[in-house]
Chain A
Amino acid sequence: MGPMRTRRPLVLVLLCVAALLSSACGDGGKAKSIKVVIAEYSKDHTRPFWQGLAEQYTKQTGVKVDLQVIDWNSIDQQVSTMIQNNQPPDVLNLNSFSSYAKDGLLYSADEALSPKTRDDFLEPFVRGGTYRDKLYGFPILASARAFFYNRDLLNRAGMTAPPRTWDEFLQAARKIQALGGGVIGYALPLGPEEAQAEWSIWMWNNGGDWKSGEAWTINSEKNVQTLSFLAGLANTHKVTQVNPGKTNRTDGAFQLFKDGKVGMVMGFSPLAAQLDAERKLNYGVAQMPTNTGTPVTLGVEDYLMAFKKKGNQEAARQFLDLYYQPAQITRWITAEGFLPVTKSGLQQMSGNEKLKPYLDALPSARLAPTTDPTWDKVKLDVQQNIGLAVQPGGDPKQVLDRLQKNAAESGR
């Protein structure tokens, strides 16, 4: 025990010295290293790409990169811990940005991007990254949802085309469900993983929305109608999988669809990539069924942010400018199977047949209200609660009223 007792403080002291040295680099003068935190989109492509980019960056600038690729499940926690400990990253990739902008932690585009990089962004994604008239959330990549259907099941149920309206959708779901043998009409994932995405699509295709101007409209009459429609799918018509309010997207709804058990599901391009790799399922991709005449889909924009730290502005700008070189960003987005966020990228990728349905859907795509910092809490509230509305005995209006109340309160 004796030697251990004396050695421990020494280790501590050394650790502290090391920590002081590394954080001291940021003060006075230029940063000698930057911390880059990236979410893991796939095991195969994310780390190799960013590792390569970091090496190239170090070669060009002499600035070292501390690259951390973190899985989506723990990235919120790890980033929060970094900020609590006053050791924020220099460059961060995440699916939200406005809370960080609100806290005054970020460089704006004027400070952290060259004008050429900034001008290459597609306009909708610039809007999606703007907080109080300044661009803080730089688009890193995008995705769009599309309506996936199992051709074989649709044909067996006597249909040749996917449904375009909600009425047709309900009929299709009922016919597919009626095939029996455990076949499911529509896989509805309203569990906590991504409930806000599934809900957004249904809400918009009935003419509802999250907000009207500055005010939240979560419990509007239209939205109550939409959620009641979804509850009806589950409990009245019984055309969904068991317990849709307790089914997640990835290992729930997608799994059932991949297994050929489900007629229809809302998917996105990475699902298509998996289906194409497995070559088991004869599927089609179409626009969302609509109740208003105009199909709307959900676009998702993920962000890159540059954190304000002493002496790191130039280093962060150089890193971002390197990523946004058309060859770099497009190579990565293509590898991950997502959609472009830059004009040059759109040009390069528009010839890709596989991406056509999603690229076609992009103009009609809408984003969640990520520019409002309140959204970061509303999203979590929706994820934890909306599933309860489609359980047997659930009350759509009550659930939406509560979400609305919480949103209005945290917005103040």
Chain B
Amino acid sequence: MVVYPVLELVRASLGRYSITGLHRGWVGPRNYGRLLEQEALSTVVGNTVTWVVMVVAITIVISLGLAQLLNESFPGRRLVRWALIVPWAASLIMTSKLFVWLYDYYFGLVNRALSAAGLVARPVDWLGDDATVMGAMIAVGVFVSLPFTTYVLLAGLQTIPGEVYEAARVDGASGWRAYRSITLPLLKPALLVAAVLNLIYVFNSFPIVWTLNDRNPGFAHDTMITYMYKIAFKSALRDVGVAAALGVVNVGVILLAVIAYLRVARWREEPV
């Protein structure tokens, strides 16, 4: 069931297609060659690395804090735990459209809040200014990735037995020291799961980049996923074959992530 679409993708990447989608014969690896010729490709690959690394890294750092917070008992903890699920439950497209409005140069709340706080002298065109588009997208990517990541890490925290901390306290280690020498090492399996699943998820993410970047001409802020779509339907290339070639590359990237994960996971399970 998983293999069939991949085979179809590989097949499509070896074909020559008319702009209408009509199959016109086989061209072997030529679509891959044409993909490599694309001027935008290096920018797009760079964007993809920035997008994935930044979203995953920032998400994990914030989630570590959130999970720690939610692991403590405090009044209203239940409510906060529920509230955290909201961005997860909302559709990515709706969330992205909401952020388009929040970021808007003329109507957006972000600019209003920042200028009210005296942080900016004039409004910023968050989604139009080349310097801020990627950051604005990463912020949304982090926002929607937090719930899942926090819950994975929270689950991890809850598997750490309290006695370990007590023992540490007896030995005189507390606070930051205990966190570094006990919590983080014991949290490693959960961190690994969170990192790899987020990596795949964020790499594959289409709606955020597509929606927040839809006003910008060209490919300056595209990732490999949105670029694939643009090659097929929204650029002068308009070529399903070349897009499929990039699709095969994308599947390959995910496959690598999965293999790396499996190897690390197995290494972890083997007795030392």
Contact = CB atoms under 8 A, between A and B. Distances in A.
Interface of A: 8, 76-77, 79-84, 99-100, 102-103, 105, 182, 190-193, 195, 241-243, 245-248, 251-252, 255-256, 259, 261, 373, 376-378, 380-381, 383-388, 406, 410
A261 B232 contact: no
Interface stretch (B16-24, B41-49, B154-162, B186-194): B16-24
B128 to A, nearest CB: 4
A309 B106 CA distance: 51
A381 B19 CA distance: 14
B129 interface: yes
A264 B216 CA distance: 22
Contacts, number: 107
26 contacts: A80-B232, A80-B233, A83-B21, A84-B12, A84-B17, A84-B21, A84-B23, A102-B18, A103-B22, A192-B234, A242-B105, A245-B217, A246-B217, A247-B128, A248-B214, A256-B106, A377-B237, A378-B236, A380-B234, A380-B238, A381-B235, A383-B234, A384-B230, A384-B235, A387-B217, A388-B218
Nearest to A81: B21
Interface string B6-20: 000000100001111
Nearest to B133: A246
A80 B20 contact: yes
Q: Is the interface of B mostly helix, strand, loop or mixed?
A: loop
B2 interface: no
Interface residues of B, number: 33
A99 B18 contact: yes
Nearest to A245: B217
A103 B19 CA distance: 9
B217 A388 contact: yes
Contact of A252 (B23, B129, B215): B215
A383 B230 CA distance: 12
Contact of B216 (A102, A103, A192, A410): A192
Top 4 closest pairs, chain A to chain B, by CB: A80-B21, A381-B236, A387-B217, A243-B128
B240 interface: yes
B217 A182 contact: no
User: Which of B105, B215, B237 has the most C-beta atoms of chain A within 10 angstroms of its own C-beta?
Assistant: B215
B18 A191 contact: no
A76 B233 contact: yes
A275 to B, nearest CB: 18
Interface string B82-124: 0000000000000000001000011100000000000000000
A383 B20 CA distance: 19
A242 B122 CA distance: 12
Given A246-B128, A377-B236, A380-B238, A192 B21 contact: no
B125 A384 contact: no
B106 A182 contact: yes
Nearest to A101: B20
B20 A103 contact: yes
Contact of A99 (B20, B230, B235): B20
B81 to A, nearest CB: 33
A246 B215 contact: yes
